[in-house]
Amino acid sequence: MNLEQLQIFGDHDLNCLLPYLKCRNINAGQTLWQEGQSGHYLALILSGHLEAKKDTEFPGKQVVVAVFGPGAVVGELSFLDRSPRAVSVVALEDTKLAVISHDDFGRLVTDHPALGMKVYRTIMLALATRLKKSYERLASIF
């Protein structure tokens, strides 16, 4: 989900969505989550940048796999399948997030099914786009 994709949500949709979101601020250098932690929420970056790091086979060594800025959604993999976090995420600068938990998303879908499906489709579109870009990066190596 990015800011352009949010434009598909009209004022009514956004007003209905707001009660299910929580605002969270993280400081530069602060870890949002560690690889392996449970993933019970996802976040939309409102301002700032986050860096995703993946542990390597070498103890204590990580590789940066992505940098996300305003409008990017993070945490969708664990959010969707309730698996442990696949990467660690750290704030590169002071960052403001809109966060939705599993429980709040469940209430959103119950209270506003059409809006819940619209949010779900938007998350899936963001995930599909990220996967396509990963394929392109992988193919460029060979």
Count the alpha carbons within 13 Å of 106 in the hemisphere toward its beta carbon: 7
What's the CATH code of the domain at 123? 2.60.120.10
Nearest to 19 by CA among 98, 73, 87: 98
DSSP per-residue letters across 18-77: GGG-EEEEE-TT-EEE-TTS---EEEEEEES-EEEEEE-SSTT-EEEEEEE-TT-EE-HH
Domain coverage including residue 35: 3-132
Mean predicted confidence (pLDDT) in 26-48: 94
Answer whether residue 139 is part of any domain.
no
Asked if the structure places residue 142 within a domain, the reply is no
Position 13 scores a pLDDT of 86
What is the per-residue pLDDT across 71-91, written as a single tens digit (0 to 9) for each?
Answer: 888 999 899 888 999 999 999
pLDDT at 15: 87
Distance CA 130, CA 137 (A): 11
The answer to the question of residue 128 being in a domain is yes
Per the structure, the count of domains in the chain is: 1
Q: Is residue 64 part of a domain?
A: yes
Question: What separation in angstroms does the CA of 72 have from each of 5, 38, 57, 111, 142?
Answer: 10, 20, 28, 25, 28
The chain-wide mean pLDDT, for the chain, equals: 89
**5 has pLDDT over 60:** no
